[in-house]
Structure 1
């Protein structure tokens, strides 16, 4: 029997282990690529009585191209920074 354990970290809210014996490697990769699985702590592949850490392999296979920062993001960051500076001005 072979299955995957995906550990998701929710920060202060805790962690969740997703274990589904019917999930294939391809489906795990698809869920990571789609963003359904985010904040992954680790992914283990359990095969018979052995455990393999396949986190790096699956994350590499599911990697999306880096789109970089857009002009809209830069403008939003500038507005946010200016707003934060105004919060600390004397009244």
Structure 2
């Protein structure tokens, strides 16, 4: 039997361990990427009688690709250009 324990830290309100034997590694990653799981303290994978800390691995797999600042600047400049065109068009 294999399952994951995801410990979520709510600060002053305490912590919650999400343990669902039906959830797979892929589903844990999807829930982290979607933002359903936030403020994760640790993720343990329990297989047979062994416990392994897989927090770093799963968080790395769930990391969203970073948008390069140059791409963001290009989009912002196109919005600025469109706004400037509207501002200067004949009424």
TM-score category (smaller protein): 0.7 to 0.9
**TM-score after normalising by structure 2:** 0.72
Distance 1:35 1:68, change over 3 A: farther
Q: What is the DSSP-based 3-state SS (H/G/I as helix, E as strand, rest coil) of the residue aligned with 2:33?
A: helix
Which one has the bigger helix percentage? 2
1:33-66 per-position Cα deviation (integer Å, ceiling 9, x unaligned): 0000000000000001000000000000000123
Pairing 1:1-91 to 2, within 5 Å after superposition: 1-67=1-67
Question: Which structure has the bigger radius of gyration?
Answer: 2
Equivalents in 1 of 2:43, 2:3: separation in Å?
10
Equivalents in 1 of 2:68, 2:39: separation in Å?
20
1:80 equivalent in structure 2: none
Aligned length: 71
Give the CA RMSD over aligned residues.
Answer: 1.7
